[in-house]
Amino acid sequence: MPDPQPVEGPVVLVGCGRLGSAILEGWLLTQTVAASDLIILTPSQKPAAEAARAQGARVNPPLEVLAEAKVIVLAVKPALWRDVMTPLLPFLGDQAVILSVMAGVTAPTLAEGIGGWPIVRVMPTTGVSRGGGVASVWSADDRARALGRALFQRMAETVDLADEALMDAATAVAGSGAAYFYAFTEALARAGEAAGLDAGTADVLARATLRSAAESMGDDPLDALIGRIASPGGSTRAGLEAMARDGRLTAMLNDTVAAAVHRNREMGA
Ligand SMILES: NC(=O)c1ccc[n+]([C@@H]2O[C@H](COP(=O)([O-])OP(=O)(O)OC[C@H]3O[C@@H](n4cnc5c(N)ncnc54)[C@H](OP(=O)(O)O)[C@@H]3O)[C@@H](O)[C@H]2O)c1
């Protein structure tokens, strides 16, 4: 795929907390948006916003500049978005697109609060700050979806969702997934300890193995990757068979993702 063009602004980032800062750093690192095209709204000083300001971004300018904004990226807590957006709406032009990265706030809920502007929802991971995140994109509007993709595809593996309802499942897999792998790594280390390793050595081995597995994964099919390590009758194959006995690995992950989907729905209700 050809390298996507930088996104022309102004691009307005509303909220520069954990995710907002990660997005900002990713945009600048991957040159998705020129700093001079960025407008950042933040109630308190943030290192990422100050770094962007030093490169030419505008931080908390008079709200009249929002009239030209191409996209407003809403990165505040779900409980706050109405209070945050209401004072901005009178300044927005017809061309603006609203991009929400908020978990659980649906497009109909957003539309009811903000009116007729096209909406795109994106669920990114904070790995975007290093240009290596994951992002799920959904919009009912083609222009808004294309803009959502363009803003994230240089810094994330970006997938289009066919239905907004899938956002909860995508969040349960990608948004939460790193924590599942960390929990698995912790359990692997403790299992190594149970097998006789000291705790520190088991931690080093489990963490280094996760890193090394991630680095060598590439785009090869997962069963081919497993086959390269687990020869028939070997010790890895014995371990894999124990892990999958009676379908317990599949059942455990089905329960894990279902619980996260359920909680995402509860929080969005
Ligand atoms: N963190 C993640 O990994 C992640 C992943 C996917 C989605 N999300 C979504 O991203 C959103 C933000 O999450 P977060 O973890 O980044 O939360 P956070 O660290 O609390 O950031 C929220 C930011 O919103 C700012 N804010 C509050 N009022 C504002 C206003 N009137 N104008 C502009 N900014 C305002 C806060 O500023 P102050 O610090 O000055 O109070 C704060 O920095 C949430 O809706 C969450 O669902 C987060």
Mean local confidence (pLDDT), 30-50: 97
- The best mutation among 13, 14, 18, 152 to test binding of ligand 1, ranked by most ligand atoms within 8 Å of the C-beta, falls on 18
Domain 171-268 maps to which CATH number in 1.10.3730.10, 3.40.50.300, 3.30.450.20, 1.10.1040.10? 1.10.3730.10
Q: How far is the CA of 18 from the centre of ligand 1 (A)?
A: 6
Nearest to residue 149, comparing CAs of 52, 56, 71?
71
Dihedral pair phi/psi, residue 159, rounded to 5°? -120, 145
Mean local confidence (pLDDT), 105-114: 92
**For ligand 1, what atom is nearest to the CA of residue 171?**
6
Mean local confidence (pLDDT), 27-52: 97
pLDDT of residue 146: 96
pLDDT of residue 207: 98
Q: How confident is the model at residue 244 (pLDDT cuts 50, 70, 90)?
A: very high
Cβ of 265 less than 6 Å from ligand 1? no
Residue 268, pLDDT above cutoff 80: no
Mean local confidence (pLDDT), 60-88: 95
| DSSP, res 135 | E
What is the domain partition of the chain in residue ranges?
Answer: 11-162, 171-268
For the record, the structure tokens of 220 come out as 């090869």
CB proximity list for 59: less than 8 A, separation 6 or greater:
39, 40, 41, 42, 49, 50, 52, 53
Q: How confident is the model at residue 4 (pLDDT cuts 50, 70, 90)?
A: low
Residue 128, pLDDT above cutoff 90: yes
Residue 110, pLDDT above cutoff 90: yes
Reported as a single tens digit per residue, the pLDDT across 160-188 is: 999 999 999 999 999 899 999 999 999 99
pLDDT of residue 3: 58
Would you mind telling me the total number of residues written for the chain in this entry?
Answer: 269
Nearest to residue 78, comparing CAs of 101, 61, 55?
101
DSSP string, 36-68: GGEEEE-SS--HHHHHHHHTT-EES--GGGGGG
Which residue owns the Cα nearest ligand 1 atom 9?
A: 102
Q: How confident is the model at residue 267 (pLDDT cuts 50, 70, 90)?
A: confident
Q: How confident is the model at residue 115 (pLDDT cuts 50, 70, 90)?
A: confident
Cβ of 230 less than 6 Å from ligand 1? no
Question: Starting from the edge strand earliest in sequence, which strands make up the sheet with 97-100, in order?
Answer: 58-59, 38-41, 11-14, 71-74, 97-100, 119-124, 133-138, 156-160
pLDDT of residue 74: 97
List, as residue ranges, the binding site: 42, 75-78
Cα(83)–Cα(76) distance, rounded to whole angstroms? 10
pLDDT of residue 157: 96
Cβ of 148 less than 6 Å from ligand 1? no
Instruction: Please determine whether the domains at 11-162 and 171-268 fall in the same fold group of CATH.
Output: no
Q: How confident is the model at residue 269 (pLDDT cuts 50, 70, 90)?
A: low
Query: Reduced to 3 states, what is the DSSP secondary structure of residue 225?
Result: helix
Mean local confidence (pLDDT), 249-253: 97
**Mean pLDDT, all residues of the chain:** 94
List, as residue ranges, the binding site for NADP(+): 42, 75-78
Q: Which CATH architecture has domain 11-162?
A: 3-Layer(aba) Sandwich (3.40)
